[in-house]
Homo-oligomer: A and B are copies of this chain.
Amino acid sequence: MTRVPVNRSSAYSPPVTASSAGAPAFALDRSSPVPLYYQLAQQLEAAIEHGELRPGALLGNEIELAGRLGLSRPTVRQAIQSLVDKGLLVRRRGVGTQVVHSQVKRPLELSSLYDDLEAAGQKPATRVVSNAVEQASAEVAAALGIAEGSEVHHLERLRLSHGQPMAFLSNYVAVSRLDLDTGRLESTGLYRMMRSAGITLHSARQTVGARSATPEEARLLDEPGGAALLTMQRTAYDDTGRAVEYGAHIYRASRYAFDFQLLVRA
């Protein structure tokens, strides 16, 4: 699931408000470009978030809900399904659809993907150590699916938090995919530059490991010699499946951990 809004444009009746038996009211605007199923999903999510729909609460069956809202059942189902996919609702045959029993809340934060890319500019919390065009090493070329020796941007940054170093980030982007002007990079951020170049991130593959710090790394991150470091290699792909960015990062394990959520499939 998870698609974007954008569409619709009619001019029928004014906003419809529906309510029943203490259940929250939903206001759907058919003149809005936001899809009806998306409007409903957002309002359901807000109701859950604000505690109007408590964990375990039943939503009422889909047919009745559809009738109350003046929507068709498939549209209501689409809204519900998107929240089921987010882990906020559960469907049970013969029982109904209910709000998940608290817990789990905040879905995965994409760990540090956006974070790393968004901050590629000169944010106070990030110091750009170097930004140059190099020839791709075998490792980088393989990760980006390009020929060894191709030109790539190599961006090295030190991530700070509260004045303390947190991580050392090393990113690679093929020049052929995006020409990174240093000036714009520092003011705009890598992620925004990708977007405006028509590249939409779609997925990323990450490997998280650990190892002991080399003396140089220990010095850079202000850790004692041989301290445990978290390592992360990530390749990000656009929506056609082509590699966009590769990063090989190290984090101070004493101050950093990856936190994420898995949804069980099927």
Contact with B along A78-120 (1 / 0, CB 8 A): 0001000101001000000010111110011011010000000
A237–B104 CA distance with the chains assembled, in angstroms: 8
CB A12 to nearest CB in B, in angstroms, measures 23
Q: How far is the CA of A265 from the CA of B4 in the complex (A)?
A: 9
Number of interface residues of A (CB under 8 A): 59
Q: A55-B241, A210-B229, A256-B209 are in contact. Are A262 and B103 (CB under 8 A)?
A: no
Contact of A210 among B230, B237, B242, B266 (CB under 8 A): B230
**Bound CA–CA A266/B101 (angstroms):** 25
Give chain A interface residues in 18-57, CB to chain B under 8 Å: 55-56
A137 at the interface (CB under 8 A from B): no
Contacts of A256 in B (CB 8 A): 209
B243 pairs with A110, CB closer than 8 A? no
Q: Is the CB of A258 within 8 A of B204?
A: no
- A145 on the interface (CB 8 Å rule)? yes
Closest to A98 in B: B240
Q: Tell whether A216 is near chain B: CB-to-CB under 8 Å.
A: no
A134 at the interface (CB under 8 A from B): no
- A205 engages B241 (CB within 8 Å): no
Closest Cβ of chain B to A18, distance in Å, is 25
Interface CB pairs A-B, < 8 A, 26: A2-B265, A2-B266, A85-B85, A100-B241, A103-B145, A103-B241, A103-B242, A107-B265, A108-B262, A202-B263, A204-B261, A204-B262, A205-B261, A205-B262, A206-B260, A206-B261, A206-B262, A207-B257, A207-B259, A209-B253, A210-B210, A210-B228, A210-B253, A211-B228, A212-B227, A228-B228
